[in-house]
Amino acid sequence: MEMRRVAVLGLVWLAAAATVAMADPLPSYYNAIFSFGDSFSDTGNFVIINSGKLPNMPKFPPPYARCSNGRLVIDFLAEAFGLPLLPPSANKGTNFSQGANFAVMGATALDLKYFKDNNVWSIPPFNTSMNVQLQWFDEVKQTICSSPQECREFFSKALFVFGEFGGNDYSFAWKAEWSLEKVKTMVPSVVASMAGGIERLLDEGARHVVVPGNLPAGCIPITLTMYATEDRSEYDPRTGCLKKYNSVALYHNAMLRIALDQLQRRHPDSRIVYADYYTPYIQFARTPHLYEGRAEGVLRRRWAVQLQHERVVRAPRRDDVRGSRRSRQLGRHPPHRGALPLHRQHLDQGPLRPPSPRQRCPRRHGLLDYR
């Protein structure tokens, strides 16, 4: 969770900074927040779309209708600005006067037709792409304001969080075994689609827009598991992350920033803020000891312990990988307790943790890496 907290602090700071960074001061508050994106922001749309019902949402910390073991970035933003947690837009009959969340787990920047036309079939069974979410926004808009002028005035005082988008687009392409070069050919289309969506919101009256970039996909546990390799050259020795997946995220973020700069020049009366998720994530992986002061390694020497789909964990011998052993289920008495650092030897005596986020998120059609 520390990683998420770093990203949260960065995004809150960027959004707050937008209120003081212009020559003409912006309002010191937002009347609403509207969020678009995937599972990093989804507060219940995926659950409603699949089951038709949103579960009761008592107080945190347990996760409810979220792919998380607690609050999402968008939850922290709402709390930071004194607004209620954003209701999912699929929850019909809800009052959206203080904001709505259109994000859905597995959402893409490109419409699903793009993937079908390119013979990529590891995609969701329903279309919840960026354009679909913008259509939902048009429907919600009719319940908030009654005229174009009234809507523009209302949205000019709201905060729009647009993304993260793109991560699922590239993930589906990787699952179709596209090469690095071919995946990179998607990036201009993904970024152009995002820029078009943002401009559409600006034309509706939005003035304050935060646009998160991609996270380093090569550091995400499921990527490290699904695409594990014994070729050490595939890993960044400073982080243990898979380099080629991170290179796509870096390329995406670079092109996205260029597109946002162009949008900013065309809309000088608005403030478009790029939220950097990538850098805090990498900093955490490189220097985990700087956070909480107790971590001794996060992804380092990732190449020495390879996860296999058959649940075989290779046991490292010095710097080389030799032999293998069956993995064991960790519980209150982990088998490696005696080898743990002193400050961690009593962690297993604490209360049982709630189910992991993956147990909360449905697994459909074998798609394990929805985001």
Res. 27: pLDDT tops 70:
no
Neighbouring CB atoms inside 10 A of 219's CB total 25
Count up the domains in the chain and report the number: 2
Q: Is residue 369 in some structural domain?
A: no
Q: Is residue 371 in some structural domain?
A: no
Q: Is residue 350 in some structural domain?
A: yes
Res. 215: pLDDT tops 80:
yes
Residue 301: the pLDDT is 44
Do 225 and 346 share a domain, yes or no? no
Boundary of a domain, candidates 294, 312, 339: 294
* Distance linking the first and last C-alpha atoms of the chain: 16
Question: CA 196, CA 201: separation in Å to the nearest integer?
Answer: 9
Do 264 and 338 share a domain, yes or no? no
pLDDT confidence band for 60 (50 / 70 / 90) = low
Res. 145: pLDDT tops 50:
yes
DSSP label at residue 343: G
pLDDT digits (tens, 9 = 90+) for 295-336: 444 454 444 434 434 344 344 434 433 333 333 333 344 444
pLDDT digits (tens, 9 = 90+) for 122-139: 888 889 999 999 999 999
The domain in which residue 309 lies consists of 302-358
Residues 6+ apart with CB under 8 A from 30: 81, 83, 157, 158, 159, 208
Residues 6+ apart with CB under 8 A from 370: 38, 39, 67, 105, 106, 124, 168, 361
At 265, list the tokens. Answer: 């020049």
pLDDT digits (tens, 9 = 90+) for 217-259: 999 999 999 999 999 999 999 999 999 999 999 999 999 999 9
Res. 78: pLDDT tops 50:
yes
As a whole number, mean pLDDT of residues 49-72 equals 68
Q: Is residue 366 in some structural domain?
A: no
Res. 14: pLDDT tops 70:
no
Do 339 and 234 share a domain, yes or no? no
Q: Is residue 368 in some structural domain?
A: no
As a whole number, mean pLDDT of residues 338-346 equals 44
Do 214 and 258 share a domain, yes or no? yes
Q: Is residue 41 in some structural domain?
A: yes
Q: Is residue 15 in some structural domain?
A: yes
Do 319 and 277 share a domain, yes or no? no
CATH of the domain at 195: 3.40.50
Do 280 and 314 share a domain, yes or no? no
Do 272 and 307 share a domain, yes or no? no
Do 273 and 169 share a domain, yes or no? yes
Do 187 and 233 share a domain, yes or no? yes
As a whole number, mean pLDDT of residues 276-299 equals 76
DSSP label at residue 371: -
Of the listed ranges 76-85, 100-109, 144-153, 193-202, the least confidently predicted one is 76-85
Contact 38, 168 (CB under 8 A): yes
Residue 57: the pLDDT is 54
Q: Is residue 204 in some structural domain?
A: yes
Question: CA 105, CA 90: separation in Å to the nearest integer?
Answer: 13
As a whole number, mean pLDDT of residues 32-48 equals 93
Do 250 and 331 share a domain, yes or no? no
Boundary of a domain, candidates 271, 294, 317: 294
Partners of 100 in the β-ladder? 34
Give the residue from 165, 173, 149, 157 showing the smallest Cα distance to 197: 165
Do 204 and 166 share a domain, yes or no? yes
Boundary of a domain, candidates 265, 294, 323: 294
Do 337 and 215 share a domain, yes or no? no
